[in-house]
Structure formats: structure tokens, C-alpha cells
Amino acid sequence: MEWFLKVVRNHYFDFNGRARRKEYWMFVLVNVILAVVVGIVAGMIKQPWISSLLGLALLLPGLGVGARRLHDIGKSGWFMLIALIPVVGLYLIYLLAQEGERGSNAYGPDPKHA
């Protein structure tokens, strides 16, 4: 939960810098859990728009942490657009799972050693 809150509180609209694998994947995990729980509750109370509101609220932090994760491996944040291409978009999952570059790169210092 700490990693999720770090992204939402400190990096809500931040596309600069680098994000560790743990930061990205913990954000994704908590985001999926929240989406399922809120979706179930919203369905039970017959208010499906609540799920959409959550998705909209977490869209920018999700894009930001994705861009920073790609920066950690030395790629541009624009690589997230390959997710829109069927089958080829699976390459994005491969990229997001890669270990980050050691030391500083063009996008900033190594977040593991910061």
C-alpha cells in the first residue's frame, strides 16, 4: 500500500524521473484490487459510475508511473503507446518487467540507490 500511496500522493502527475519495478507493480496490484472491490460494491448498490470515477482518478498516476518505469530501463515514456497494437503490445509487459539500468541514465539517478 505504501508504494501505491507514494505514486498517488507524491507523483500524481509526474512523468519525469524513474520508477523501480516494485513501485510500478505494487501500484498495479493495488489498483487492480481496488478496481475489483469498488466494482463489486458499486454493482451491489447499483451505482456503476463509481467504478468509472475510480478509473478516471487513477488514470494519470498510472500513466505517470508507467512512463517513469520505462525511463528506468532507458526507454521513452512514449513506448506505452505500443500497448495499443494487438499482440505487439505484449512486448510492453516484457519491458516493464525488466530490471532498470544501473546508475544514472538520461532520465535521472538510479532510484534503487537514491
Contact 70, 15 (CB under 8 A): no
**Residue 72 lies in domain:** 2-96
Report which of 89, 86, 94, 96 is spatially closest to residue 66, judged by C-alpha positions: 96
What is the end-to-end Cα distance of the chain in Å, rounded?
Answer: 21
pLDDT along the chain (114 residues), means of 10: 83 89 93 95 92 93 94 93 92 93 89 78
- C-alpha 36/C-alpha 93 separation (Å) is 21
pLDDT of residue 99: 92
Q: How many domains is the chain built from? A: 1
Look at residue 105 and tell me if it is in a domain: no
| pTM check: above 0.85 | yes
pLDDT of residue 14: 86
Look at residue 114 and tell me if it is in a domain: no
pLDDT of residue 114: 65
What residue type is assigned to position 26 of the chain? M
- C-alpha 4/C-alpha 25 separation (Å) is 9
Look at residue 107 and tell me if it is in a domain: no
Report which of 114, 97, 96 is spatially closest to residue 105, judged by C-alpha positions: 114
Look at residue 53 and tell me if it is in a domain: yes
